[in-house]
Amino acid sequence: MSKSAAGPRKLRSQAWFGKQDRDGFVHRAWMKNQGYPDDLFDGRPIIGICNTWSEFTPCNGHFRELADFVKRGVWEAGGFPLEFPVTSLGETQLRPTAMLFRNLVAMDVEESIRANPMDGVVLLMGCDKTTPALLMGAASCDLPTIGLSGGPMLNGKFRGRDIGSGTDVWKMSEQVRAGELSGEDFAAAESCMNRSKGHCQTMGTASTMACMVEALGVSLPENAAIPAVDARRNRLAQLTGRRIVEMVKEDLSLSKVMTREAFENAIKVNAAIGGSTNAVIHLIAIARRLGVPLTLEDWDRIGAGVPCLVNLQPTGRYLMEEFYYAGGLPAVLRELGDFLHRDLPTVNGRMLWENVREAECFDREVIATAAAPLRKESGIAVLRGNLAPDGAIIKPSAATPALMRHRGRAVVFESIEDFHARIDDPDLDIDETCVMVLKHCGPRGYPGMAEVGNMPLPPKILKRGITDMVRISDARMSGTAYGTVVLHTSPEAAAGGPLALVREGDMIELDVAARRLHLDVSDAELARRRAAWVAPPSPARGWIKLYVDHVEQAHLGADLDFLAGGSGAEVARESH
C-alpha cells in the first residue's frame, strides 16, 4: 500500500504530544511554560536543531544567530523548531585533543535525538570534530536529517598578503625556529590571521568535512564554502529550516542519502579538493554507524586516478573565500562529471547531478579543469608492511616527491614529551636522511590520537634550508599541515603494534608507489622485542577509561567498539 493510500505518516513526536491523558498533559504543559500556544502540539513536525555553539569553540561562536535563521525557515514551512545543545568540540582549545571527545559527542547527539520528541534534525556544525560527531550520532538514529556548516572565515591579511589559518602558523613557526622570522613579526600575525567568524579558511579538516557533507548529499548545495559572515550563509540556514520540514513529510532519512555510492563520491571529492587526511578516519566511522562497508583500501582504490582540481592551502595557493567566489563545491562536482555516481538522492529532493550540472566555474586559477588539473594524481595512499600491518596513510599531494621513496635511519621519540625535550637540541644525532618516528600518539596512546604527526623539524636542519623529512607516527595531523608525513600507523604503539618496537638506528623503508612501509629488522628480533614490551596501564576512571578500553584502531575509524551500527529512533517507554 502506498503512503498516500495509507494516510499521512504518524509523527514520532505525537507519542509525546498527541496523547490525551495524564502523560500528554505533562509533556504539553511543561513546554507551555515557554509561551508556546496549543496549536503547536497539534501534529506539526517537531524539528530538533542540534547546536554546537560555545564560546570555547571560536569556529562555532556565531551559531546562536545561525540557529535563529534555521528557526525562521522551520516556522515558515509549518514546523515547530526546538533547539538543543550538545557538547561542543573546539579544536583550538580542548586538551589533550578534541578527537578524544568525538565519540562522546556522537553519543550525546544520538541519545539526545532518541530521547526527545523530534521528527527531524538540523545539525549545526563547523569546527573539525563537530561535523563527524554530529553525523555519527544522527546516523545511529536515522531520522530525516540535514546538515548546515558554519562556514569559513574571511581570508587572513598580513602586511599585504593573504595568510591561512593553520597552514601559515606552521610555516611561520618554522621560520622563527630557523631564525628567518622575528618573534615580534610572528606575534603581529596573530591578530591578522583569524579576522572574522567562522572555521579555518584553508582546506583543513573543517572545510574538508563541510565539503564531505555536501558531497554526501546531506546539505543543500553551496553549504561547504559560503563564508560565515556572508549574508548568503544566513539565507542558506533559512532554506535549510524550510527543507527539513519537507524531509520529515517525505520520510527522507539519512540512510536513504548516505549510501555506499555516496561515500564513494565523497572519497573522490576529497581527492579533487586536496582534502584533509582526517576525512579518512571520520568517513569510515560515519559509514560504520550506518552499516555501510568502507575500508582503507576503498580510499586508495576509489581515489586513484582522481585529479586534484582545487588550488587551496595547504597543497595550493588560495583560501576558501576564493573557492566560494570561483564556484565552490558545485563547480568541482560538475567538473568531476563521469568520476561520480550522478543519480544519487540528496536532501534537497533532487539527484546530485540535477543540483550541479549547470554549475559554473568563475576562476580557473582556483578550480582547474579535469583536462588540465592542478595535479593529475591526488587522494590518499594507503601503506602496508611489517611496520603497519593494518595500514597507514600518506597524502602525496602534500609531500615532497623526492621523499616518496626513501630509506633512512630511525630517530625515535617515545612520546610527545620526549620529542619536545629533544628536538631543539643541537647535539641531536639527526640529519635530513633520517626518518623521524613518534610513538604513543594514537587513539589509546595520547589518548585521543592528537594532531602531532607533522613533527616540526630540528632547527639545525631548518637552518640549512631543508623544510621536509620523512616522519612516521600513529598520530593524526592537522588538515592544514603538509609534508612527507606517514600517519595513522595501525595498530598503534600503545596497542602493541610494530611501531612500539622500533628502536633508534633501525632502518626504515618508505615506497609510496609500491604502497610499502617496512622496518628492516628480522622477524626473530621483532619477536624478542615484543616479548619484552609492556603495555601502558589503562586510565583509572571516567570518560578516558571508557574510551581507552573500547576505542578501535585508526583503520576502523577510531569509534568505540560497541557503537558500530545504529539503534534507530524507536520511542522509548513513558517517563512517568
Task: Give 283-333 pLDDT, tens digit per residue.
Answer: 999 999 999 999 999 999 999 999 999 999 998 999 999 999 999 999 999
CA angle (70, 76, 352) in 5-degree steps: 65
Q: Is the pLDDT of residue 357 over 60?
A: yes
pLDDT at 8: 56
Q: How far apart are CA 445 and CA 465, in angstroms?
A: 33
Task: Give 233-259 pLDDT, tens digit per residue.
Answer: 999 999 999 999 999 999 999 999 999
Q: Is the pLDDT of residue 44 over 90?
A: yes
Task: Give 262-279 pLDDT, tens digit per residue.
Answer: 999 999 999 999 999 999
Strand order in the sheet with 120-125: 80-85, 46-51, 120-125, 145-149
Average pLDDT value for the chain: 95
Q: How far apart are CA 433 and CA 75, in angstroms?
A: 62
pLDDT at 85: 98
pLDDT at 3: 43
Work out the average pLDDT over 517-526: 97
Q: Is the pLDDT of residue 7 over 80?
A: no
> How many of the other CB atoms lie within 10 Å of CB of 188?
12
pLDDT at 127: 96
Please name each of the domains of the chain with its CATH number.
381-536 (3.50.30.80)
The residues, any chain, with a CB within 8 Å of residue 82's CB and separated by 6 or more, are 46, 47, 48, 49, 116, 118
Q: How far apart are CA 176 and CA 343, in angstroms?
A: 51
| 456 preceded by a cis bond (ω within 30 of 0) | no
Task: Give 420-448 pLDDT, tens digit per residue.
Answer: 999 999 999 999 999 999 999 999 999 99
Q: Is the pLDDT of residue 6 over 50?
A: no
> Is residue 9 within 8 Å of 3, Cβ to Cβ?
yes
Q: Is the pLDDT of residue 400 over 90?
A: yes
Helices and strands, number each (H, E), in the chain: 20, 14
Helix/strand/coil for 550: helix
pLDDT at 170: 85
Task: Give 152-185 pLDDT, tens digit per residue.
Answer: 999 999 988 999 998 888 889 989 988 999 999 9
CA distances 179 to 84, 129, 163, 173, 460, Å, are 49, 34, 20, 10, 10
Task: Give 80-139 pLDDT, tens digit per residue.
Answer: 999 999 999 999 999 999 999 999 999 999 999 999 999 999 999 999 999 999 999 999
